[in-house]
């Protein structure tokens, strides 16, 4: 039986009400999916959380794709890896990172490709073969930070998404972002066990687990998506830069987990080693910055970059000229061996920073936070 249609305003109110409950992520996504379908008809959705600093994918929720018969459980895992490839390894349209940069962070695949969806690697390799050629995507941005994303699918026997569908989804992206943020804080509030030893996972070129130690094994199933995402990110970087470790913080039911990834020295087969750490590392971010020869002013600017501020905003905050800020940012990139703000944040700001940044704590002059 078809459910009655809702207005966009009603949808926004309903999602805000669900968000205030601070549900765990999967429960929140299930509740939002049920409500979204009352305005934007679809066959299935797949939800993701993103690291708000690096915009790396940290989890996915493909249950609707499995329940609707689009994928089996195994097929969903393979589809997830194809999605990661389209995000980080090849140039594609409507990537989550690119949508997050837009004033309206929503995109219809057919419109982005000028009516030629076969121009998209994601369409060719995943959507069309799976019988879900019609795609609507959105990212969920709040206060300049992207907290999550969604893939909305229709089967080939249905019609494509309309501008009205995109407008309706766009109207609720902010309230969904706020709900995800509350859910993440709820999960992060469950503190990790003290003194837990780091673990190690080695992925081969096909992202199969080649080696895993005990402390990492118990988290392996939960961390599969962010592990593959970080591995793809590291492999895609220039070889010299990829020898340096990269890191991303991931929320789990037992607290924040940090993944530190690097390519083994002299490795040419695509293997990636990832250290899994439950608690914050012993070294403060300020010390990591100092190890690269970063000055106190550059460390302060690095912290503001982690907050998501642009160069003009940093200039206004620190009462500097935009050209001076640009010089400092260039120096930061050179000293830390990165080529973008995302890489800088992934390299330097680990899990002891992300919860505080999400709470709006002010950075200190050396890139750290006051007690």
Between the alpha carbon of residue 259 and those of residues 222, 230, 272, the distances in Å are 12, 8, 12
Average the pLDDT over 193-202 and give the result. 66
The one-character DSSP state at 219 is T
* CB-based contact 186:22 (threshold 8 Å): yes
Helix 25-36 and helix 8-19, axial crossing angle in degrees, nearest 10: 170
With cut-offs at 50, 70 and 90, classify the pLDDT of residue 344.
confident
Whole-number Å distance between alpha carbons of 341 and 347? 10
Structure-model confidence comparison of residues 169 and 221, the more confident one: 169
**Dmax (CA) of the chain:** 65
Average the pLDDT over 143-154 and give the result. 92
Which tokens in the block code for residue 227?
């592990």
Buried b (16+ CB within 10 A) or exposed e, 190-223: eebeeebeebbbbbeeebeeeebeebbeebeebb
Nearest partner of 306 among 368, 258, 262, 252, judged by Cα: 368
Nearest partner of 203 among 47, 81, 356, 35, judged by Cα: 81
Predicted confidence (pLDDT) per residue in 76-93, tens digit:
888 988 888 788 778 899
Which tokens in the block code for residue 45?
């959705």
Secondary-structure class of domain 285-358 per CATH: mainly alpha
Whole-number Å distance between alpha carbons of 115 and 53? 33
The one-character DSSP state at 123 is I
pLDDT at 353 over 50: no
Structure-model confidence comparison of residues 222 and 118, the more confident one: 118
With cut-offs at 50, 70 and 90, classify the pLDDT of residue 38.
very high
pLDDT at 122 over 50: yes
Mean pLDDT of the chain: 81
pLDDT at 2 over 80: no
pLDDT of residue 55: 75
The architecture of the domain spanning 199-277 is 2-Layer Sandwich (3.30)
pLDDT of residue 311: 92
pLDDT of residue 186: 64
Whole-number Å distance between alpha carbons of 368 and 109? 41
Whole-number Å distance between alpha carbons of 143 and 159? 34
pLDDT of residue 350: 43
Which tokens in the block code for residue 67?
């329940």
Average the pLDDT over 154-170 and give the result. 97
Whole-number Å distance between alpha carbons of 49 and 46? 11
Average the pLDDT over 49-77 and give the result. 86
Strands (E), the chain: 44-50, 57-61, 106-108, 134-142, 145-154, 199-203, 209-212, 246-252, 255-262, 272-277
Do the first three CATH levels of 8-188 and 199-277 match, i.e. the same topology?
Answer: yes
pLDDT of residue 169: 98
Just give the CATH number of 8-188: 3.30.450.40
pLDDT at 352 over 60: no
With cut-offs at 50, 70 and 90, classify the pLDDT of residue 278.
low
Buried b (16+ CB within 10 A) or exposed e, 156-186: eeeebbeeebbebbbbbbbbbbbbbbbbbeb
Out of 68-77, 241-250, 259-268, 315-324, pick the least confident: 241-250
Out of 165-169, 222-226, 242-246, pick the least confident: 242-246
Q: Could you state, in order of their start, the residue ranges of all structural domains in the chain?
A: 8-188, 199-277, 285-358
């Amino acid at each position: 039986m078809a459910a009655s249609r809702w207005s966009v305003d009603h949808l926004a109110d309903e999602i805000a009400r669900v968000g205030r409950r601070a549900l765990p992520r999967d429960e929140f996504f299930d509740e939002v999916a049920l409500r979204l379908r009352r305005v934007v008809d679809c066959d299935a959705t797949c939800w993701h959380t993103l690291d708000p600093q690096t915009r790396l994918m940290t989890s996915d929720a493909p249950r609707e794709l499995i329940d609707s018969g689009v994928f089996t459980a195994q097929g969903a895992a393979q589809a997830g890896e194809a999605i990661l490839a389209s995000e980080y390894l090849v140039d594609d349209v409507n990537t989550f990172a690119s949508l997050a940069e837009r004033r309206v962070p929503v995109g219809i695949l057919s419109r982005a490709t000028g009516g030629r969806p076969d121009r998209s690697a994601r369409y060719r390799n995943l959507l069309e073969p799976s019988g879900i050629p019609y795609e609507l995507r959105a990212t969920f941005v709040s206060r300049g930070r992207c907290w999550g994303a969604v893939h909305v699918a229709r089967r080939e026997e249905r019609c494509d998404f309309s501008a009205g569908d995109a407008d309706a989804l766009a109207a609720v992206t902010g309230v969904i972002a706020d709900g995800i943020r509350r859910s993440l804080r709820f999960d992060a509030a469950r503190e990790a066990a003290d003194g837990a030893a780091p673990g190690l996972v080695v992925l081969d070129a096909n992202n199969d687990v080649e080696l895993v130690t005990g402390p990492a094994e118990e988290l392996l199933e939960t961390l599969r998506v962010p592990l593959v995402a970080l591995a793809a990110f590291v492999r895609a970087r220039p070889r010299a830069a990829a020898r340096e470790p990269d890191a991303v913080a991931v929320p789990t039911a037992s607290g924040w987990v940090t993944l530190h990834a690097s390519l083994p020295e002299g490795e040419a087969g695509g293997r990636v080693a990832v250290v899994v750490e439950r608690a914050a590392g012993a070294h403060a971010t300020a010390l990591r910055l100092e190890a690269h020869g970063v000055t106190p002013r550059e460390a302060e600017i690095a912290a503001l970059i982690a907050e998501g501020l642009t160069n003009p905003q940093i200039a206004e905050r620190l009462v500097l000229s935009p050209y001076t800020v640009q010089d400092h940012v260039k120096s930061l990139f050179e000293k830390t061996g990165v080529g973008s703000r995302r890489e800088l944040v992934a390299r330097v700001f680990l899990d002891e920073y992300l919860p505080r940044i999400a709470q709006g704590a002010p950075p200190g002059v050396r890139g750290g936070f006051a007690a």
